[in-house]
Amino acid sequence: MRKLIRRRSDPNPGALADCGLHPLLARVYASRGIRSAGELELGLAQLLPPDRLLNAGRAAALLADAIAAGQRLLVVGDFDADGATSSALAVSCLRAFGAAEVSYLVPNRFEYGYGLTPEIVELAAAQRPDVIITVDNGISSIDGVAAARALGIRTVITDHHLAGRQLPAADVIVNPNQPACGFPSKHLAGVGVIFYVMLALRAELRRRGWFGQGDEPNLAQYTDLLALGTVADVVPLDHNNRILVAAGLQRIRAGLARPGIQALLEVAGRPASALVAADLGFAVGPRINAAGRLDDMSIGIECLLSEDRPRAQAFAMQLQQLNQDRRVIESEMQQQALDALADLDLGGEREYPFAMTLYQPGWHQGVIGILASRIKDRLHRPTIAFADGDGGTLKGSARSIAGIHIRDVLDAVACRHPGLISKFGGHAMAAGLSLARQDYQRFARAFEQEVARHAEDVTLQAVIETDGELTEGDFALELAERLRFAGPWGQHFPEPVFDGRFRIVSQRLVAEKHLKLVLFPATGSTLLDAIAFNVDCDRWPDEAVDQIDAAYRLDVNEYRGRRSLQLVVEHLEPVAAI
């Protein structure tokens, strides 16, 4: 699908212009809503305090009582990277605080599904916990919390997903998105929420005189987990989240990351000293997610909990193999989906429907989320991919585009068609759901109709927003390095992308799917190396094209110890001959 290149409104750097910043960087920050130098301060001292997070103090008091009484604590996590980092952080902190018995449990997604269900409570009861602490889940676990209460197990829910109309009757709920919570940062990942609870718990234990001289843990040692989980969960990087991610990146670059993260970086071929947020999102996160998608997330959690290097490396190698297996499965499913789209009867129309639903028997339940994301990116339509569940059900994974809140869409479908959806949950850009296989076609029609209602003011064309053109003097290695580390960049705080017209000097494929280019700016004389990853090999290379309009990032290419400027082309279109 052709993409629209659109420039961000020309911002006024205002006070940023007097902060000693490079003028281009001041412009970039201003276009992302930064209005003062204080918003660029990323020290941990700038974090919002835990007492502003509703019920964090109550959770701390309950957990402090449990620790003092030597009670059994059980962490119940989710089967993605946010859930894995949340579980590892909770277990590590509680042990460091002196909890006598701490264990964790992650539901197998294929047997038990998502969240604290009654079945998971039954499984957990075998460990005889006194307190269950959910991380990155639980806000919709009404029946599971009731089952725990019936067994005399107290529950502390820590989550960040949107709350439904009814909250579970837990002993304590900590969630910045629950009603009445005035915490200014609504975008904490699950790992961020449990980190705040641990901050409050440390303060409570300190108040009680729990720690001996020099025994109080420094929670900065867990910021590598915070950075990984926050970036991998693709939550918006508001100021508070950027502080958390920046602290973790700084720790990893300094060589202080836990052995598991170091091992995962090594198998991914990413040097820790030059790490940026994108490396966590595209290299480390997927390897941890592969465990939950194909096998058992406890492999990922154990990798993150490992305290010695050989054990961490062994788990990292398992995760590497699982990720390679996941790629093969995903590639096969994506080709099947594309073949189905090619056969789609559009009734003489050239445009795709407002929303896409995809299902083929045999699709892997753990990979449908990635498939939905890939098709969503390709067609710029909200997309749900389904796989077979148990007992004649389908499990769906939904991904959306800017402007269409996918959980609200599913909620509206459920209201208009009672009983059509068995259960659902999620947030604005991603959600999960279940329904009867026999209702698939009826759901597909209802879903498309509901998206159409929500899409009246939404552009159903992929848009690449850029920071404008660069002058010839901006094509410099020093500026590329400065931009690389000026983030952390991520969701809602995107890495700078620029646009311009270029003359092609040479073009060739490398590694069978990447387009290597040598370019001149249309109005300049600087020779520039560039690369476009994963191009359409039916279109490129094209020797008939001698000019392109491109959206690109300035990047640093390292080859045999030599560092040089390289443009990473996000999108390119031939310039029509006049």
Q: What DSSP line would sit under 405-470, residue for residue?
A: -HHHHHHHHHHHSTTS-SEEEE-SSEEEEEEEGGGHHHHHHHHHHHHHHHTTT---S-EEEE----
| CB contact at 8 A, 464 and 449 | no
The span from the CA of 569 to the CA of 553, in Å, is 6
Q: Residue 108's pLDDT is what?
A: 77
- Sequential pLDDT tens for the chain (578 residues): 567 788 887 677 777 877 788 899 999 999 999 988 899 999 999 999 999 999 999 999 999 999 999 999 999 999 899 999 999 999 999 999 999 999 999 977 767 767 899 999 999 999 999 999 999 999 999 999 999 999 999 999 999 998 888 999 999 999 999 999 999 999 999 999 999 999 999 999 999 999 988 889 999 999 999 999 999 999 999 999 999 999 999 999 999 999 999 999 999 999 999 999 999 999 999 999 999 989 889 999 999 999 999 999 999 999 999 999 999 999 999 999 999 888 775 554 557 889 999 999 999 999 999 999 999 998 999 999 999 998 899 999 999 998 899 999 999 999 999 999 998 887 788 899 999 999 999 999 999 999 999 887 787 888 899 999 999 999 999 999 999 999 999 999 999 999 999 999 999 999 989 999 999 998 888 899 999 999 989 899 999 999 999 999 999 998 888 999 999 999 999 997 65
**Amino acid, res. 278:** A
- φ, ψ (nearest 5 deg) of residue 563: -105, 135
| CB contact at 8 A, 520 and 505 | yes
| CB contact at 8 A, 223 and 244 | yes
The span from the CA of 98 to the CA of 215, in Å, is 10
Q: Let me know if 506 is exposed, middle or buried by CB neighbors in 10 A (0-12, 13-18, 19+).
A: exposed
Q: Could you write out the DSSP letters of every residue in 295-346? A: S-THHHHHHHH--SHHHHHHHHHHHHHHHHHHHHHHHHHHHHHHHHHHT---
Tokens of 526: 């600087």
Q: Which domains does the chain have, with CATH numbers?
A: 44-319 (3.90.1640.30), 344-454 (3.10.310.30), 464-574 (2.40.50.460)
DSSP three-state, residue 148: helix
